[in-house]
């Protein structure tokens, strides 16, 4: 017989489907929390990406040096004369000082600077060239005795005498021959009067607003000018090589008169290279002068004028004007020096990058200029555009310093500390 029969209940369990599993209600809050976190992360990511889409602002450069600055120190005080007028100028730098106002004064034989200037601009001479020949007329020679009787400054001339343009200019500029000034004037313009008109036209063109010429020699006291105007003319005249050659001579040899000497006893001393004396009772002692000084390895031409120095006669008047000029030149030489305006490494500009980044732009070398305390110097920085990434010590632009109208002094500029663009994380943090 078989074994025991299976239970009816077990049979029924095999026949009926299993009941569904019971859900765990405790998992629902966790699922909702995870979904919320996911949404927050997605939203935060969108928020973080937003500033990365915007371009970075370009760095800015702000100059820390002024557009100009005065050479530090006390401005020089020059030993001006007690009377008359005076002015000192340095070619390329400007006027060092002036005295006596701007009232036109008689200038005596200083007038001959304009006479020679007009002749040489109308009839230029190359270095050492004698130029065209002039012939002294019978009338010009016949006037010599009367001119001598008046006590004029002259060179002896004879009818039919042949003299070159250079020799005639030597007679005018060295022994200050009035008669040769008139002979040159008539040779150039046909008459003395026509030449005087030309002198005044040139003065107007040069900006000599307080000057009026009535004769080519300066004997007429109605020929008047100022120290300022004569400095203007002297600077232009000294730019003519032949003029500069002649006024630097202590003597020369010309026909008939023979050896003639330069009245300007300062020539060849203390750097003096010219230019012209003058003296009459009305004008007193006058001198327009030029000197060359070496400062910091650079040659500077000093041009000045002293007018109206008192004295009983020509020797006394000229002694007085020579003494004043020597003092002015000594003080000028003492005032001129090399001055440092910007030190090596000194900051020239500030660089401001995006999100607080920054650097500087500095002078690679010191900036030195020749001048005197108080002289104003123009500063100009040429700085190319700056990117958001710059290396330390990289060459970047230049600084130019210009005193007067002289040659500019240029130095290289270099970056200071390195500057990097902000990282992505820095941009996100700054945006938040």
Residues tagged active-site: 109, 112, 176
Q: How far apart are CA 36 and CA 289, in angstroms?
A: 95
Longest CA pairwise span in the chain (Å): 188
Counted residue by residue, the chain has a size of 432
For the range 412-415, what are the long-range contacts, defined as Cβ-Cβ under 8 Å and sequence gap of 24 or more? 412/363, 412/364, 412/365, 413/348, 413/349, 413/361, 413/362, 413/363, 413/364, 413/381, 413/383, 414/361, 414/362, 414/363, 414/364, 415/351, 415/359, 415/360, 415/361, 415/362, 415/390, 415/391
Residue list, annotated binding site: 276
* Residue whose C-alpha is closest to residue 171's, from 232, 249, 97: 249
Contact 377, 70 (CB under 8 A): yes
Please provide the DSSP assignment of 29-67 as one string.
HHHHHHHHHHHHHHHHHHHHHHHHHSPPPPPEEEE-S-S
Transcribe 153-212 into DSSP letters. Answer: ------TT-EEEHHHHHHHHHSS--HHHHHHHHHHHHSSHHHHHHHHHHHHHHTT-TT-B
The contacts of residue 235 (CB under 8 Å, 6+ apart) are 89, 91, 303
Let me know the angle formed at the C-alpha of 143 by 137 and 146, rounded to the nearest 5 degrees.
170
**Nearest to 219, CA basis, from 202, 240, 237, 196:** 196
By the 10 Å C-beta count (0-12 exposed, 13-18 middle, 19+ buried), 299 is classed as exposed
- The secondary element (H helix, E strand) that includes residue 252 is strand 251-254
Q: Which residues are annotated as a binding site for substrate?
A: 276
């Amino acid at each position: 017989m078989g074994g025991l029969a299976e239970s009816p209940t077990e049979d029924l369990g095999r026949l009926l489907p299993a009941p569904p599993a019971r859900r765990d209600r405790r998992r629902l809050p966790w699922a909702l929390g995870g979904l919320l976190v996911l949404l927050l992360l997605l939203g935060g990511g969108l928020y973080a990406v937003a500033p990365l889409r915007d371009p970075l602002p370009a760095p800015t450069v702000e100059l820390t040096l002024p557009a100009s600055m005065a050479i530090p120190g006390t401005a020089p005080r020059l030993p001006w004369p007690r009377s008359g007028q005076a002015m000192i100028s340095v070619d390329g730098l400007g006027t060092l000082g002036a005295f006596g106002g701007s009232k036109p004064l008689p200038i005596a034989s200083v007038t001959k600077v304009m006479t020679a200037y007009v002749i040489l601009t109308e009839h230029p001479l190359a270095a050492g060239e004698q130029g065209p020949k002039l012939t002294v007329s019978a009338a010009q020679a016949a006037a010599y005795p009367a001119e001598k009787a008046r006590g004029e400054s002259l060179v002896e001339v004879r009818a039919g005498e042949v003299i070159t343009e250079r020799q005639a200019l030597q007679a005018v500029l060295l022994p200050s021959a009035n008669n040769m000034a008139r002979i040159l004037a008539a040779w150039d313009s046909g008459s003395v009067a026509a030449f005087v008109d030309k002198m005044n036209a040139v003065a107007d063109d040069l900006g000599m607003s307080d000057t009026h010429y009535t004769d080519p020699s300066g004997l007429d006291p109605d020929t008047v000018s100022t120290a300022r105007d004569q400095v203007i003319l002297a600077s232009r005249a000294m730019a003519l090589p032949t003029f500069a050659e002649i006024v630097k001579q202590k003597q020369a040899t010309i026909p008939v008169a023979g050896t003639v000497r330069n009245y300007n006893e300062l020539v060849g001393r203390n750097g003096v290279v010219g230019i012209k004396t003058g003296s009459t009772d009305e004008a007193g002692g006058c001198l327009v002068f030029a000197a060359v000084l070496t400062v910091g390895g650079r040659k500077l031409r000093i041009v000045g004028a002293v007018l109206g120095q008192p004295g009983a006669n020509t020797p006394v008047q000229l002694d007085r004007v020579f003494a004043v000029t020597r003092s002015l030149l000594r003080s000028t030489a003492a005032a001129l020096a090399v001055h440092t305006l910007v030190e090596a490494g000194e900051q020239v500009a500030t660089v401001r990058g995006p999100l607080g980044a920054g650097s500087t732009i500095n002078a690679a070398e010191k900036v030195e200029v020749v001048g005197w305390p108080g002289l104003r110097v123009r500063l100009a920085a040429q700085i190319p555009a700056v990117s958001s990434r710059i290396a330390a010590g990289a060459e970047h632009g230049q600084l130019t310093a210009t005193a007067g109208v002289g040659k500019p002094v240029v130095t290289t500029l270099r970056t200071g500390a390195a500057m990097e663009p902000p990282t992505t994380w820095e941009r996100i943090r700054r945006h938040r």
